[in-house]
Structure 1
Amino acid sequence: MSHRKSGSSRIGNALLNVAAFGGTVCIILVVLAFFFHITLIMFKTGSMSPTIPAGSLAVVKKIPASEVHVGDVVTIDRASALPVTHRVTSVSRSEGGAARITMRGDANPTDDPLPYEVQTVRIVLWSVPELAYAVNAANNPLVLGGLTVVMAVVVTWAFWPRDEPRRRRSESERQEAAT
């Protein structure tokens, strides 16, 4: 006897699969961040346009400054200001793995005012335009709260006890009546 899944059952399974996929992606990102020093950055300005426009989300990896080359797009953390992400225009290596790096945004006519003395940088591996807007929207407490409620409802619905015991009893009663 074949049982066809109801439409709501299929929707519930699809939503659980989406939630499981999202959880898997989160776990993978945490592992990458921890073991491989890979993180995400968001571009708020257009200084790297058109290569990386404002609103892009980029995947970056922490590397020693000794591995930086002219033409790389890197993020440098600054003590008293926000990090800066620009293209490397010159590199001079120092002892101990440090480097003096000059950078310029692709949309800027001149190099940044001063070179950066650094031990490590974060190199941009790839970026996705417009994705930072979605990430920022997801940081809204109302969106996070709404997603939490929706996921709680889906998980509760998916694991809520069904009428299975009643169906089994009916089948066994039918079999007894047939004998």
Structure 2
Amino acid sequence: MLRGLLASHSRAADGRRTRCPARANRGTSVGVHGRISVTQVHTELASTAAPRRSPAKRTLHHIVRTGVVTVTGIIGFACVAWWAIATLAGLSLIVVTTGSMSPTIPTGAVVVARSVPASEIQTGQVVTVPRTGSVLPVTHRVIAVDDVPADREARSLTLRGDANATPDRAPYVVRDAQLTIASAPAVGSVLQALDSRPLHGLLVVVVGAVIIWTFWPPRRKPDAA
């Protein structure tokens, strides 16, 4: 009987020793899977939140858009300002195509002029007046101002270019003239180039393409699965 009890106790102990590793293995398996799941969740959250925390980079598209808006605004403001000033003050732009006024006003310069009555014109001023027999006016310096007996408002102007040794052939009888206020070299050549029709068409195409590309919605990258 004692031997039977010892045998039963031995089998029970062996059974407990056999089952314990199984429970330990199951516990270890659960722990490993639990750690893997937590690691995967943290990795996915980190990958999702990372773009939100990273600072936005200025792309070429954004830089060009800002530049186009800025340049367009400046040009628009300058055009409106010039139109308002020219309308109120009676200003005009005159392109000089010859060198008769060099070096004061060289070829290709632009002159800002204001319309004044002939009675206000004085010797030494630079004026622009119509030229007889020519579509283009003449811009020369006044060297003499004489009254016109038949017309009190008119004046007879003797002009000469700074680069010329002699005065113009005949005086100019005018009732008003364009008085030079300021001049800028080379600007007239640029204005003449911009006034050509082929360049107008090219500028329209280029500017239109840049504006469309600038304001076209950027392509969004698909979200990673």
TM-score band (shorter)?
0.7 to 0.9
Q: Are 2:183 and 1:147 aligned?
A: no
Find 1:132's aligned residue among 178, 188, 191: 188
How far apart, CA to CA, are the structure 2 residues paired with 1:44 and 1:66? 28
| Residue 110 of structure 1, CA deviation | 1.0
Find 2:86's aligned residue among 23, 33, 37: 33
Give the aligned residue type for 1:144: H
| Residue 97 of structure 1, CA deviation | 2.7
Structure with greater proportional strand content = 1
Q: Kindly tell me: are residues 8 and 159 of structure 1, through their superposed partners in 2, closer, same or farther at Cα, counting changes over 3 Å?
A: closer
The two structures have a TM-score, normalised by structure 1, of 0.82
How far apart, CA to CA, are the structure 1 residues paired with 2:218 and 2:175? 60
| Residue 163 of structure 1, CA deviation | 6.2
How far apart, CA to CA, are the structure 2 residues paired with 1:153 and 1:13? 16
Unaligned segments of structure 1, at least 5 residues: 171-179
The two structures have a TM-score, normalised by structure 2, of 0.66
Find 2:146's aligned residue among 92, 102, 119: 92
Find 2:215's aligned residue among 128, 135, 159: 159
1:14-50 deviations in Å (ceiling 9; x for gaps)? 1221122122222223223333221111111111011
Q: Structure 2 matches for 1:101-116, cutoff 5 A?
A: 101-116=157-172
Higher relative contact order (CA 8 A, sep 6+): 1
**Larger Cα Rg: Structure 1 or Structure 2?**
2
How far apart, CA to CA, are the structure 2 residues paired with 1:29 and 1:21? 12
Unaligned segments of structure 2, at least 5 residues: 1-52
Give the aligned residue type for 2:123: V
Q: Are 2:137 and 1:83 aligned?
A: yes
